[in-house]
Structures are given as structure tokens and as C-alpha cells.
Amino acid sequence: MSHWMVINETGGPDALSWEARELGAPDAGEALIRHTAVGVNFTDVHRRRGDHHLPTPVPCSLGLDAAGVVEAVGDGVTEFDVGDRVAYAAMPLEAYSDERILTAERLVPLPDSIDDKIAAAAMVKGITVQFLIRQTFRVEPGQVVVFHAAAGGVGLIACQWLKHLGVTTIGTVGSEAKVDIARAHGADHILVHGRDDIAGLARELTNGHGVPVVYDSIGKATFDESMRCLAPRGMLVSFGNVSGYIEPVHLSQVFGAESFFFTWAKMHHYIESREDLLSATRDLFDVINSGAVKIDVNQTYPLQEAGRAHADLEARKTTGSSVLIP
Ligand SMILES: NC(=O)c1ccc[n+]([C@@H]2O[C@H](COP(=O)([O-])OP(=O)(O)OC[C@H]3O[C@@H](n4cnc5c(N)ncnc54)[C@H](OP(=O)(O)O)[C@@H]3O)[C@@H](O)[C@H]2O)c1
């Protein structure tokens, strides 16, 4: 018998419950994976609370990324075999489980150099950093950029990767307690929301011009300030809304602003093909293997305590990545 964490109704961290299920055998093209480590992402919180649309009706599970071992394969699966170590960042949302079946096309082989917990912590967050800084807005050495929530899971990976690429990062955090960790991971300037003048520093470091890109996952609370940081023809890359959805923008505000680009960027659209998935993952594993990026698993919980992991993430108590262990 398999088990998974299920939400029967959207709600608080208690909405998650541990339930048994019959899994069956993989169909053609699928693999059964026994999870060894499961990622926790803020998007799981959004879905549990009902802020974001659930792709399947309740009752359903959560979780986009995990690492584990292939236990069985269906007909036609040639790339993977029983016993292979694998990881993924993929729908359907079933990573919060001890084992699951997934189309083998979405799996990536795990090199020996990458431990299961690191892989579970890095798949969604690391691929996200890859597409943000190498694809959505491809940074260049010497540029100054703003990256919000710099001490979070995505944030700590971004700070290190940007440093590795020769970029100067203005990282933002929610409290003084998170300044040191963001600095230790390569952010050159760390500013605290509500205390420091983020747009002021963005202009000071760029001779008054503004920065070419702001990576903003906070949404409603930071939109105005992010816009004030941008250089003419700069790009606001919006990829999250932990503080709520950005308020509607009146077109007169847009016409009064400098020329700018706005984009909403979602991981799934950057790894739709197998080639794109493998290419983004290869980049990620390269920076991990070279030592340029270290994945910080700063919180670990038993899978059955996923609700506690969510509560800590929502309360802004975490830094780096959190992982669930089945
Ligand atoms: N578009 C995509 O495909 C994609 C993929 C992955 C992740 N994301 C987004 O990237 C962001 C980071 O994800 P993550 O999993 O690594 O989470 P995280 O950054 O570890 O946690 C979120 C952080 O946001 C900050 N924050 C600011 N206002 C907050 C509020 N009102 N409530 C809670 N936190 C608040 C907190 O840091 P401080 O205390 O320092 O403010 C908190 O630690 C999320 O918005 C997520 O949805 C998007």
C-alpha cells in the first residue's frame, strides 16, 4: 500500500492529511518512483490555501519535485531501468507521496555527485533560477540586478549563480536576521524591505540610470518599488506573488513611466520539451558540481509533517530550501 499527503479541502496547514492509496503498475511510457526526498515550494502553499488554481479537483495531493529510485517501468521505457536514481520537477502534483507513477519523459537521471536531498531541494528552485537568469532575462557580467526574497530557496541559489556570472546583486530580505545568509551566498548589497531604499540604491549603483532587470516573486508588496528600480527599457520579471497578486495597473501609469518590459514567467513553459528540461537541468547540475552553487537544505521534515513545513515557510521562518523525507 502507498501513502500520500492529501488535501480534501483547501485551507490551513492542517488541510494536509496522510492517506493510503492503491498505486497499481506503471502503464506504457511510465515509471514507478519510490521517493527518497521531496521538495517544498511556496507554490505548494499557494495551492493548499487555494490562492492558486488546483489543476485537479480536491481531494488531491501537492508537490512538484522529488528525488528517488525507479521501482518499475512500463512498456517502451528505454531510458530508465529499475534501480536508477532519478529526480523530476513535474505535474501532476503528487510529489508529496512515498511513491508515485510519472511519465518517464519527465524524469532526469541523477548523477552520483548529487545527493537525493540536494536534488529534491534544487529541481524546481534551481531550474527556476536557470530560466530566469539564463533565458527570461539573460544577465551579462558587470550588470547590476535586483533579486527579491534573496534568502529564500530560489533566492540563495540565485545569489550564488549571479555571483558566478559576474553580476552585482542587490538582494532584498524581509528582516535583519536574513541579511547575513544572503551576503554569505554572494549578494553584494542586501536591503531590508520597509527599512531601506531599494530603488535609491539601484539608481546610486548605476549612475542614476536604474537596473536592467528586477526579479520579483513577492508581487503586490514590491511591484511599485520594483518599477522604480528599472532603467529605461529594463525588464520586470514577475515570477511569484507571495504577498498577493499585483493590483490592476491603470494604463495612464504605464504611459507616464519609462519604457519597460513586463513578463510573467512560469517554469513549466521553459521546460515543456524533453530537450529543454535536460538542457536546464544540465546547466543546474553543472553549477552544483563545479561548486559555484551550493544547495542549502536548511529545514528537513518527515513527509507526514508537510503541514509544519508549510507553516514555517508561510511565517517566513525558513532560509534556503526545505525538504520532506518519506
Ligand atoms: N514562476 C515559477 O515558475 C516559479 C517557480 C518556483 C518558485 N516560484 C516563486 O518563487 C518564489 C520563491 O519560492 P521559494 O519556494 O523559494 O520560497 P522562499 O523564497 O523560500 O519563501 C518565500 C519568501 O518570500 C518572502 N516573503 C515576502 N513577503 C512574504 C509574505 N507575505 N509571506 C510569506 N513570505 C514572504 C519571505 O522572505 P523574507 O522573510 O526575506 O521576506 C519568504 O521566505 C515564490 O514566490 C514562488 O511562488 C515561481
Ligand 1 in reach of 246 Cβ (< 6 A): no
Ligand 1 in reach of 218 Cβ (< 6 A): yes
Domains parsed from the chain with CATH numbers = 2-123+273-325 (3.90.180.10), 141-264 (3.40.50.720)
Which amino acid is present at 197?
D
Q: Which atom of ligand 1 is nearest to the CA of 241?
A: 45
Residue 203 pLDDT greater than 90, yes or no: yes
- With beta carbons less than 8 A apart as the criterion, state whether 277 and 253 touch: no
Give per-residue burial for 245-274: e unless 16+ CB within 10 Å, then b.
Answer: ebeeeeeeeeeeeeebeeeebebeebbeee
For a pLDDT cut of 70, what percent of the chain falls above it?
Answer: 100
3 state SS of 156: helix
Q: Which residues pair with 86 in a beta bridge?
A: 68, 109
Categorize the per-residue pLDDT at 257 as very low, low, confident or very high, splitting at 50, 70 and 90: confident
Q: Give the Cβ contact number of residue 228 at 10 Å.
A: 17
pLDDT of residue 244: 96
Task: Give residue 259 CA to ligand 1 midpoint distance, Å.
Answer: 27
State which H helix or E strand residue 17 sits in. Answer: strand 16-21
pLDDT of residue 253: 80
pLDDT in tens, 138-193: 999 999 999 999 999 999 999 999 999 999 999 999 999 999 999 999 999 999 99
pLDDT of residue 256: 80
Ligand 1 in reach of 51 Cβ (< 6 A): no
Residue 208 pLDDT greater than 90, yes or no: yes
Ligand 1 in reach of 150 Cβ (< 6 A): no
Ligand 1 atom 9, closest CA: 240
Ligand 1 atom 21, closest CA: 152
Q: Report H helices in the chain.
A: 42-49, 116-131, 153-164, 179-184, 198-204, 223-229, 251-256, 267-270, 274-289, 306-314
Task: Give residue 172 CA to ligand 1 midpoint distance, Å.
Answer: 12
Q: Which atom of ligand 1 is nearest to the CA of 151?
A: 40
- With beta carbons less than 8 A apart as the criterion, state whether 31 and 102 touch: yes
- With beta carbons less than 8 A apart as the criterion, state whether 311 and 45 touch: no
Residue with cell 518519506: 326
Ligand 1 in reach of 229 Cβ (< 6 A): no
Task: Give residue 240 CA to ligand 1 midpoint distance, Å.
Answer: 7
Ligand 1 in reach of 316 Cβ (< 6 A): yes
pLDDT of residue 30: 98
pLDDT of residue 196: 97
State the chain's mean pLDDT as an integer.
97
Categorize the per-residue pLDDT at 254 as very low, low, confident or very high, splitting at 50, 70 and 90: confident
Residue 255 pLDDT greater than 90, yes or no: no
Which amino acid is present at 67?
A
Task: Give residue 42 CA to ligand 1 midpoint distance, Å.
Answer: 6
pLDDT in tens, 19-59: 999 999 999 999 999 999 999 999 999 999 999 888 888 99
